[in-house]
Structure 1
């Protein structure tokens, strides 16, 4: 392992490429150590070279309102009367010391953000340089195009952009760049326009037998591609698109504003068979159960646990879809005494790829070394030759 400091853009690009190669490093290996060091170096370089500006007090309050689904009325205990809340949210009234203390204590908004002066005119929202460069490379961001214009073009106008600003973002990393997240969603929707679906999506058509047939495709080497074709028959588009710097996403379930077609977008952040199928089924659960009304975007970093009801429902739906509960309840009694032969035999009985069983066993037993060789490392991306090189003509 030979890791050097990042001193230039060329060093930065080389380290990003190396980081991609190491994303599936097995736990406890020298490659995993290198991955952690590279991630730290890249994060430090990005924060120093392309710092994300601290939000204004009003932006921080509105973000917390979106995140916790708060209404202006919910702020009255911290800001005062309804009229006073309205004045604060419109930028007419500055925050008092008592307001700052209440917002910090009860809503967890950092005091150092709240004490900043509120500018009279909000600065234009901009992408970081690395995110803009990636979008340009993909052919979705035009030269000189602003973030707002790009979003309006991709989502179909201000109404869709307002919906995306209301996206449920609880299951995102604390360091997530939400501007880049929104841009990634827009890019995924642009790519979806080149994919065909066959018929209108009907949640009722996703029956138990249909889900079992979808999961059964996992036993094939080209199972991910077969899954994409089957979803298209159901009226759902599957898009694979690398994550942008600062997004920390595994996937998202989206709905196109123009025609309502549901889109499952995956980053393949973990190029493993077990991760692919769980993420796919998790997002499909959102499509079937949760995409409705003004909820057109649901984002997921599946490394983060969530108390959100819809996330727990999607986790359980995916888990039961991949391995039937009655089968798993019997198998899990073997516990730590499970052998590789047991994993393979159970996978045949459950009619799923052994990687799915191995991954489930690891999480259940909190042992991420045993059966690591069965997880199907680097076996998913070859199914999507456009991955890492997406481009819109």
Structure 2
């Protein structure tokens, strides 16, 4: 996903056009001069690594309800990490903006909470007005961030390629020789989903720390750039199985695609993304209002229905086609344990992927 900027300001542009037309009328028969339209000032600037299909419905609904104009600075996870790092650097320098830094932004939306914790110094503690209805597991203890959605990891497979007798059951299934070169797996250096999957497999499977070497070998030491590429590859039959999120797999399955998925029997993990207001934001009030809206009943319903993402609200019903969260084989480990496991797994992965014959 390339970095992109989206600004919604239809009303202001229309008003500007009317004023421009009126000015032309009162100028009589004099020579017509083209005047540039005034730039629309956003009321709020959001940075995110979410896909448009996820953030656009939420942003649109927020704008319609509040009348505020929102600008979205969207990029890849690595780009967002770079923006955070740049902002942190600015705090200790003269405050000048780097060349690759987007325009001043007010809050991070739908970003991995692990990444938000990594740059905790950037955030303004904000207790949401919806706090009583939020699952405490999905809120930062110091309110530096508030969860937005929960994404359990699954193994998805193509039902036209994988027979009933070949169905995967867990992380160890991805190591079977029958799937050599047929497993879709994104680069764990670029994908938080893949890095978390390696951590979960290392913590729960019988292969332990050997899992990284064995998986790299079964992948022919070749990985994809994104999880989305893997989903597409499974969908068109280039790959038989692969690691993805429950939300992506369920959306494809419910849409009629020839795919299905399982939760690894050894135990799986879930990605938690969240929202955080930047300390020093010039639009703090609007940022707080947006944060509250992201966890409102209506916004969570929009997100759950359209994208099959799990809600962070305690009063949210499980969407049709999904098992209740308490029935999923989630590993009993806290975020610190997973963070440490991810770092260890990525280090072992680098060793395995860098061996002779690697991509």
Asked if these proteins are the same fold (TM beyond 0.5), I'd say no
Q: Report 1 or 2 for greater relative contact order, CA contacts < 8 Å, sequence distance ≥ 6.
A: 2
**Greater strand percent: which structure?**
2
TM category (shorter chain) comes to under 0.3
TM-score, normalised on structure 1?
Answer: 0.26
TM-score, normalised on structure 2?
Answer: 0.28
